[in-house]
Homo-oligomer: A and B are copies of this chain.
Amino acid sequence: MFLIYTISMAKSNKLIYLDYSASVLPNPSSIHLLGVEAKRKLQNARKEISAILKCRPEEIIFTSGGTESNNLAIQGVVLAKAFPLPLGKRVAFSKPHIITTNIEHPSVLETFKMLQKRKLAEISIIPVEKNGIVDPKKIKKAIKKNTVLVSVMYANNEIGTIQPIREIAKEIRHYNKNNRPCLFHTDAVQAVNYLDLNVEKLGVDLLSLSGAKIEGAGRVGILYKKKTVSLSPIFGGGDQEMSLRPGTENLPEILKFSKALKLIEKNKEPASTRTSLGGKENKRLTKLRDYFFKKLQKMSKTGLDKNMSKPVFDTGVIINGDLQNRLPNNVNITFPKIPSDLLVIELSAKGIMASSKSACKSSGKEGSYVIQAINPELDKEIGGVRFSLGKKTTKADIDYTVKALSQVLQKLKKWYY
């Protein structure tokens, strides 16, 4: 029927928009021609994104961002167990158990704690190893009869460590052979620019992405949800997004997202693996990162001050997180006695925009729980300084940054050492 009317539309030269209340922009849920056109664009974006993730279009749910995607994945699984649709009655089922690590993004970790507080789930938080990487065997060991979900991030937002997603998936699959359906979610928000997003190869049932971390992508989130997974929506409302996320879809930003995702995917070719990153820009960043590490280690030893005979700092610089299994653009360091917040502000005064911890949590007073997790001996407020490189970053920027850092440290050491 739509097709017939699309043809007859061509005959009408008039266009009178009398649907201002639906949305000032055409709305994919409207059934008039502009609505149908908007829906076609929306479905096309969904298809393009699914082609990159190697899944079906209807397995892509659009959300408002990474925080919502992570919440929908985790709360959605737990709520579906507690209140299965369509009857909405509580069923006889022991309290769902969910597993994550101690260095997840707040939108995962705090959601776990919230579900525990609300008595909707029993939680296990597995500590990562000293290098910021979780041991898949420890995940396996934590799985119980009532475990319904494991959520492990693909790459960490502070220290950039890449988690062994495929290995964890393998452990879960092995467990599931005994007919115990434990799902696997990964927060891929930080991984998106550099790592392989093939959900089949990764072996995940749920995967979160955010436009905020992709150049030109627009502020929307994506949740990949395998077709067989039961999820309850968090919001009540309309039946958009396979009835899992009500609210008019943010079409302009979604279109920007799919365009930007296609672009970064092209830059990754040939596809990257956990240890070897594909793509020219990935290789350039990896080189730059390793150069940054070398300069930092040298500075720590020599103080970069040729007049000094011994290192500036007794304790040296700590490079946080595994040196190899990490994002190509991530450098994260700690000077054991100097609060990282102070370093960031001092560097900012020299024109260098770095970060002292997850920006998503930075208005709080405590330091970084991620740095704390891998350096338990540090004072809580010390934290780490994260430098995250991007396409405009050059070798000269690194030189300038290390020099500036050295000057800042010279200034601060009299107070802190």
Which residues does A use to contact B, with CB under 8 Å? 1-2, 5, 8-9, 12-27, 29-35, 63-68, 70-71, 74-75, 79, 82-83, 88, 90, 105-115, 117-119, 157, 160, 190, 212-217, 219, 233-240, 246-248, 250, 252-253, 327, 329-330, 341, 344-345, 347-356, 358-364, 386-390, 392-393, 397, 400-401
Check if B250 sits within 8 Å of A219, measured CB to CB. yes
Check if B212 sits within 8 Å of A23, measured CB to CB. yes
Other-chain contact of A390, B17, B74, B110, B119 (Cβ < 8 Å): B17
CB distance from A187 to the nearest CB of B (A): 11
Other-chain contact of A235, B107, B112, B214 (Cβ < 8 Å): B107
Could you say which residues of chain B place their CB within 8 Å of the CB of A15? 351, 353
Q: List 11 A-B contacts (CB under 8 A).
A: A21-B160, A22-B355, A24-B213, A25-B212, A31-B362, A33-B348, A68-B235, A107-B235, A107-B246, A114-B233, A219-B252
| Residue of B with least CB distance to A5 | B349
Check if A353 sits within 8 Å of B107, measured CB to CB. no
CB distance from A7 to the nearest CB of B (A): 9
In angstroms, Cα B64 to Cα A348, docked, is: 31
Taking A236-B112, A247-B66 as contacts, is the C-beta distance between A16 and B90 under 8 angstroms?
no
Q: Count this chain's copies in the assembly.
A: 2
Taking A19-B388, A117-B88 as contacts, is the C-beta distance between A110 and B246 under 8 angstroms?
yes
Other-chain contact of A31, B27, B248, B341 (Cβ < 8 Å): B341
Could you say which residues of chain B place their CB within 8 Å of the CB of A70? 237
Check if A67 sits within 8 Å of B246, measured CB to CB. yes
Other-chain contact of A236, B8, B34, B79, B106 (Cβ < 8 Å): B106
Check if A65 sits within 8 Å of B247, measured CB to CB. yes
Determine which residue in A82, A115, A157, A235 has the highest number of CB atoms from chain B within 10 A of its CB, and name it. Answer: A235
In angstroms, Cα B359 to Cα A240, docked, is: 10
Closest 3 CB pairs of A and B: A111-B236, A64-B64, A88-B117
In angstroms, Cα B392 to Cα A235, docked, is: 34
Taking A20-B390, A246-B360, A401-B16 as contacts, is the C-beta distance between A32 and B68 under 8 angstroms?
no
Taking A83-B118, A363-B239 as contacts, is the C-beta distance between A389 and B20 under 8 angstroms?
yes
Check if A247 sits within 8 Å of B360, measured CB to CB. yes
| Residue of B with least CB distance to A25 | B212
In angstroms, Cα B35 to Cα A358, docked, is: 13
In angstroms, Cα B235 to Cα A212, docked, is: 18
Check if A71 sits within 8 Å of B33, measured CB to CB. no
| Residue of B with least CB distance to A12 | B351
Could you say which residues of chain B place their CB within 8 Å of the CB of A233? 114
Check if A107 sits within 8 Å of B213, measured CB to CB. no
Check if A237 sits within 8 Å of B32, measured CB to CB. no
Could you say which residues of chain B place their CB within 8 Å of the CB of A23? 212-213, 359
Could you say which residues of chain B place their CB within 8 Å of the CB of A117? 83, 88
Could you say which residues of chain B place their CB within 8 Å of the CB of A389? 18, 20
CB distance from A40 to the nearest CB of B (A): 14
Other than A21-B213, A24-B215, A31-B355, give 12 A-B pairs with Cβ distance below 8 A. A13-B351, A16-B400, A18-B390, A19-B359, A19-B388, A21-B388, A32-B354, A65-B247, A67-B246, A105-B237, A219-B250, A248-B359
Could you say which residues of chain B place their CB within 8 Å of the CB of A362? 29-31
In angstroms, Cα B114 to Cα A386, docked, is: 42
Check if A359 sits within 8 Å of B215, measured CB to CB. no
Check if A29 sits within 8 Å of B360, measured CB to CB. yes
| Residue of B with least CB distance to A85 | B117
Other-chain contact of A106, B5, B237, B329, B348 (Cβ < 8 Å): B237
